[in-house]
Structure 1
Amino acid sequence: MTDDDDGNAALADPGRLAALAETGLGGEPDPALDALAERARRRLGAPIALVSLITDREQVFPGLAGLGEPWARTRRTALDSSLCRHEVVTGAPLIIEDSGADPRSRDNPLVAALAIGAYAGFPLTDTAGRVLGSLCAIDHRPRRWHADELVVLTDLAHACSLELRLRIATRDAQRERARTDTAEAMLREAFTRSQLLLTASQSLAHAGNISQLREIVTDLVSGDLKPAYIGLTLAEGAGDLHRIDDPLQALGPESGDELSHVEDDTPIALTAREARLQLYTDPEAIAAAFPETAQRRYAELRLCSIACVPLPGPAGVAGVLLFGWDTAHEVDVHEQAVITTLAGYVGQALERARFLEDRVTVARKLQEAMLTRLPEPAGVRLAARYLPVGRLEQVGGDWYDAVDLTGAGHDALALVVGDITGHDIQATTLMGQVRNMGRQASWERPAGPPSAVLAAVEQACAATGVGATGTVLQAHLRPETGDRWLMRWASAGHLPPIVRHRDGTTEVLSGVDMMFGYPGLRKTPLVDHQVRLRPGDTVLLYTDGLVERRRTDLDAGIQRLRETAAALDPTDLARFVDDTIRRMLGRGTPHDDDVVVLAAHIPAADRR
């Protein structure tokens, strides 16, 4: 078989062509890939960058930057003139420093048509390693590609491959389950933003959220440049400008406005509009350029001179960084270089912070979607709350559940609270699996003890390789004669339930076994415990985020919860739960862990 035969076989590989079709991409422009091509072009200082996909008939460019007509309009070329096809055939990068001298390119008609002097392309692959196309950079002159440039292009090609794989995976997932358009768009946006992390500045890599950026920049700026004030404004949709720091609220078009607009007559709006550094060395310079309202508001901040620099983003200006001095200050060329470089770092960190916030938003919505809509069983009132962790960058594996087992032929109610180890999306995913296994086990064992349900779930996790660990408490409520209820429970390492009796006294129910998720280490079976509840009694199940604080004894937290429950009226159970959480956490106090509270109340007036 000849090399041409091998090349044609690679191009016509059915699996490769099927993967290409699964991306949903062709010769139409794709905003995300256009942005990635533009990033490659700017990072390598090359006139042209292309995201090229190779079919068995042609070459298409769903992502491009700097390419002239007619190719920018048609976004396709003939296959026989494609340089990118070499990456598909060989599976290796193609590096050409002088296309006129290199035998792989010198006779190619497209080389002359596009004035290709140098070419560097890296394969784009699917999860099976099949090469779908290439991310390439093109220079009009012969050029030596340096090692650090090739590293950048390698990283961006990897990011582009991840994007293609995500699209393939998304289309596969659509055939297997129904996703709402909203959830898919959120996940797409979160993953697209993740690609910006590849070139994010290490100096701001530890910024966990947008609100931290201004403080970090303030710490970075030192020496003669040290300003009296630093402000950060973000560009939102439809030309809106949103200030994230309180002092800058006074700089909007009207006092107290949260938003200004890119067309307003202010230094920040002008910087966002023109996408270039704006310098005003003294109040006279500000007065000469802007109306009295802008002058007055900067004067209120006691700023005599300001510098506004745009923050670069993938779709243009992402925001504006403002430096203000309380004396006249002329920013020299060296300080301008510092300011503009710093703005570039902040722009990258801004995209990273937005990615993290969006990712956590998606995870929290998925987590909250897994929580139970409480049933309304006869003779018992239920209320529950889930409060995510105070730190933005974390999500967790806390959950609650309530299953009415009357449909399974038993007059009983299963209550569950649990906490899967970890504060990330993986913990949330594991929580969802354990919760569903628990529901199934409760439904299949309506007459069995809670310990049997927990043991079944633990064994199922071990057998299926779920690998979830943490704490879980399973309780079963069953009515007895005389308006009493029997509650049996088993605890795999979870915090003890608290009973608030009708007279306001409280009781901590003892009995805790080894943590959930280690069946091989469990020397003795889980033990069931029981208590009888009277009308007016209330049971509180909760996770450690409610009672545990750093540098505070856990027993002290549980005692505080007892006192809180005793002081509140559980007749309005939803309000009882809300007030309990409010008093335990305090107003405006950040908490270190997710909080779950599930309460069951036996109304005194209900008779069975």
Structure 2
Amino acid sequence: MTEHPPDRPAPPPSTLTDPERLRALAETHLDAVPDEAFERFARLVSTLLEVPVALVSLVSEDRQFFPGAVGLPDPWAGRRETPLSHSFCQHVVDLQAPMVLPDARLHAGTRHNRAIEELGVIAYAGMPLTDLEGRVLGSLCAIDSQPRAWTAEQLRTLADLAAACSSELRLRIAVDSADQARRRAEEAHDRLAMLAGMSEMLGGTLDVGTAVERLGRAMVPLLADWCLVTLVDPARRPRRVWARHRDPGHAGDVARFAELLATGLGPESIIRSVLRTGRPVLHRAATLADVERGTTEPELVPLAARLGFGSHLSVPIAGAGGRAIGCVTLVNAPDRRPFDEGDLYTALDIGRRADQAVGNSRMYGEQRHVADVLQHSMLPTLPVVPGMELAARYLPVADRVEVGGDWYDAFVQPDGELIAAIGDVAGHDIEAAATMGQLRNLVRGDAYGRTDPVEELMTHLDRAIHGLAIPTVATATLARVRRTEHGGLRVSWCSAGHPAPLLIHADGRVAVLDRAREPLLGLTRPTRRTSRELNLAPGDTLLLHTDGLIERRDRTLDEGQAELVDRLAGSAALPLAELCDRLLAGAHRWEDDIALLALRAG
């Protein structure tokens, strides 16, 4: 074994910065802290070679650190690491061979090393510490502060100890590899489970915002540290950006990033490229320069730095005809492994599944808008009647696109009396809406200009449904309101299977007016109907409503009505419009459309 070190300068940086060597070094999970196994190797070297200093020295690209050390002087004993300006072991890594120096001051390659003066390194003997592939991670070294002629027996002992020390390093790497393999297997299982459940998860809602929020929860942190989902409008412009970060503490930053990104994509933006071409982009190693080049918003760069930006990939959400309607972007921080081809394939699968969910949500939104416009076009404008205040509301079920059969109406007769009506046609489709329109028009055509009692009007309506063969079953309440000689209001009403009207007295008391409901319209052969009457004092409110306000799967209609009565208690002082709004706001779990018609005596 030679005792002559190379007469050459420090190793070129490429040797120390070999990515595979540094990866293996990182997999040992050792650092500048004592490790009992390597401390033992240092003690054995110090004892068997009779040297004052012995080190297990591992060399990174910019320092050496000592998980095992004996005899280091202060302050290095506490630090347990030095920069490479104080390193002899870097030459062992460079040579990939032992390095033996009887007197380091006599050799050109080491005589200017600061370890001679500051650590007292005069005699040095270092043996390579290697991984299973033979990559040199560092050195097991013996150091003396005096010149020394190293014997062959001492060097053999040091080599044997270095071989045993290398075995311990390899064991640490193997344990890490096994842990990584286990984590990868668990991650693969979780990904498969996520993909298997994604279609059901995304298909469980027709609201695009909810679908994208669920998508973000599924991807972060399983696939990425944070993610962005960008959707475009019909003009191919980014319409909205959703974002999610694994750390709740970054919720504000990631929301701000999404807000700025919606209007701040530059011409060189990767997201724009994906939206334009429909092709994915994967950057295993990314820098903040990628963000800077792709945006017109300078604030995005420091935001990305805080969120973590080390690797990213973007895949299209392809719509009909293959044109991208959106983009899914996954981002990892520098301390997480970079994305690879496997991640790309997973993300592409997610993009395909998201396409169906987003497409369905968009179609639902368009259909829902048409249905809402159609439904509200069938609802009348309430008349202005002296001495009365009227208010009405209609609320469709939020997660259904069909047009409903609920309706209300109010119109003034030639003699000044008011006809008020509310009803519910069975079904939730265009046919139900058409029937609802027919029924409302029948009420208007039959009642306008006639002074017949309301029970006669209801009987005639039932006959018309049968005689005209209108295929429907419906509930309805028909009321006539007229002013009395004393200035009050007299109400007569007839109900065909409809929920009972409610009377809210001016003093806050609430009464259910009619619990005995007559048969539904169109259900049996027309029968004679009956009516009831009451007087409305100033400040009294008559409330007509459809069963959507009180109907739930988990309770009876009577229980729902009792709850409504409790909610109305003490509400007489509320403005009529506010009263109606509160009733709808309290129906947070409604399962059917709701129509309200309220009348208050002045």
Normalising by the smaller structure, the TM-score range is: 0.5 to 0.7
Paired position in structure 2 for 1:502: 506
CA distance in 2, matches of 1:467, 1:303: 64
Paired position in structure 2 for 1:438: 443
Shift of 1:329: 4.1
- The answer to whether residue 318 in structure 2 is matched with residue 312 in structure 1 is yes
Query: Matches of residues 38-57 of structure 1 in structure 2 within 5 Å?
Result: none
Paired position in structure 2 for 1:49: none
Q: Is the 8 A contact 2:379 2:408 kept in 1?
A: yes
**Please, which of 435, 455, 458 is the counterpart of residue 451 of structure 1?**
455
CA distance in 2, matches of 1:555, 1:520: 24
Q: Is the 8 A contact 1:469 1:515 kept in 2?
A: no
Query: Matches of residues 323-402 of structure 1 in structure 2 within 5 Å?
Result: 323-325=330-332, 328-391=336-399, 393-402=401-410
Paired position in structure 2 for 1:322: 329
CA distance in 2, matches of 1:468, 1:309: 50
Paired position in structure 2 for 1:243: 240
Q: Is the 8 A contact 1:390 1:590 kept in 2?
A: no
Secondary structure of 1:319's match? strand
Q: Is the 8 A contact 1:280 1:286 kept in 2?
A: no
Query: Counterpart of 2:564 in structure 1: which amino acid?
Result: L
Paired position in structure 2 for 1:122: none
Q: Is the 8 A contact 1:242 1:258 kept in 2?
A: no
Shift of 1:233: 1.5
Against the structure 1 CA distance between its residues 499 and 286, is the aligned structure 2 distance closer, same or farther, given a 3 Å change threshold? same
Q: Is the 8 A contact 1:287 1:295 kept in 2?
A: yes
Q: Is the 8 A contact 1:266 1:294 kept in 2?
A: no
C-alpha deviations, 1:556-599, integer Å up to 9, x for none? 433343344342245733233334444x33xxx35332222211
Q: Given the two structures, how large is their TM-score scaled by the length of structure 2? A: 0.57
Query: Matches of residues 240-319 of structure 1 in structure 2 within 5 Å?
Result: 240-243=237-240, 245=242, 247=244, 256-257=259-260, 259-260=262-263, 262-263=265-266, 266-282=269-285, 285-291=286-292, 293-302=299-308, 304-314=310-320, 316-319=323-326
**Please, which of 495, 500, 514 is the counterpart of residue 491 of structure 1?**
495
C-alpha deviations, 1:424-475, integer Å up to 9, x for none? 444333322222222112226x222223333333333344443232321111
Against the structure 1 CA distance between its residues 476 and 240, is the aligned structure 2 distance closer, same or farther, given a 3 Å change threshold? same
Paired position in structure 2 for 1:595: 594
Against the structure 1 CA distance between its residues 262 and 244, is the aligned structure 2 distance closer, same or farther, given a 3 Å change threshold? closer
Shift of 1:507: 1.5
Shift of 1:498: 0.9
Query: Counterpart of 2:326 in structure 1: which amino acid?
Result: G
- The answer to whether residue 548 in structure 2 is matched with residue 558 in structure 1 is no
Shift of 1:380: 1.9
Shift of 1:232: 2.2
C-alpha deviations, 1:265-300, integer Å up to 9, x for none? 654344324432122334xx1424222744543454
CA distance in 1, matches of 2:222, 2:516: 60
Secondary structure of 2:266's match? coil
Q: Given the two structures, how large is their TM-score scaled by the length of structure 1? A: 0.57
Shift of 1:368: 0.8
Q: CA RMSD in A?
A: 3.4
| Structure 2: stretches of 5+ with no match in the other structure | 1-198, 246-251, 293-297
Against the structure 1 CA distance between its residues 430 and 206, is the aligned structure 2 distance closer, same or farther, given a 3 Å change threshold? farther
Which 10-residue stretch deviates more, 448-457 or 474-483? 448-457
Q: Is the 8 A contact 1:313 1:347 kept in 2?
A: yes
- The answer to whether residue 583 in structure 2 is matched with residue 577 in structure 1 is no
CA distance in 2, matches of 1:573, 1:381: 8
CA distance in 2, matches of 1:499, 1:590: 24
Against the structure 1 CA distance between its residues 465 and 300, is the aligned structure 2 distance closer, same or farther, given a 3 Å change threshold? farther
**Please, which of 505, 511, 517 is the counterpart of residue 513 of structure 1?**
517
Query: Matches of residues 67-466 of structure 1 in structure 2 within 5 Å?
Result: 207-214=205-212, 217=215, 226-243=223-240, 245=242, 247=244, 256-257=259-260, 259-260=262-263, 262-263=265-266, 266-282=269-285, 285-291=286-292, 293-302=299-308, 304-314=310-320, 316-325=323-332, 328-391=336-399, 393-405=401-413, 407=414, 410-443=415-448, 446-466=450-470
Against the structure 1 CA distance between its residues 302 and 558, is the aligned structure 2 distance closer, same or farther, given a 3 Å change threshold? farther
CA distance in 2, matches of 1:530, 1:304: 76
Shift of 1:488: 1.3
Q: Is the 8 A contact 2:551 2:590 kept in 1?
A: no
Paired position in structure 2 for 1:119: none
Q: Is the 8 A contact 1:489 1:530 kept in 2?
A: yes
Shift of 1:244: 5.2
C-alpha deviations, 1:207-255, integer Å up to 9, x for none? 5231243356468879x97445454211125553133535488568977
Secondary structure of 1:555's match? helix
Against the structure 1 CA distance between its residues 230 and 424, is the aligned structure 2 distance closer, same or farther, given a 3 Å change threshold? farther
Paired position in structure 2 for 1:104: none
CA distance in 2, matches of 1:332, 1:421: 56
Residue identity over aligned pairs, in percent, reads 27
CA distance in 1, matches of 2:555, 2:225: 39
Secondary structure of 2:385's match? coil
CA distance in 1, matches of 2:386, 2:561: 30
CA distance in 1, matches of 2:289, 2:230: 23
Query: Counterpart of 2:396 in structure 1: which amino acid?
Result: P
| Structure 1: stretches of 5+ with no match in the other structure | 1-200, 604-608
Q: Is the 8 A contact 1:207 1:213 kept in 2?
A: yes
Secondary structure of 2:491's match? strand
Paired position in structure 2 for 1:528: 531
Which 10-residue stretch deviates more, 434-443 or 207-216? 207-216
CA distance in 2, matches of 1:458, 1:231: 58
Query: How many pairs align?
Result: 391
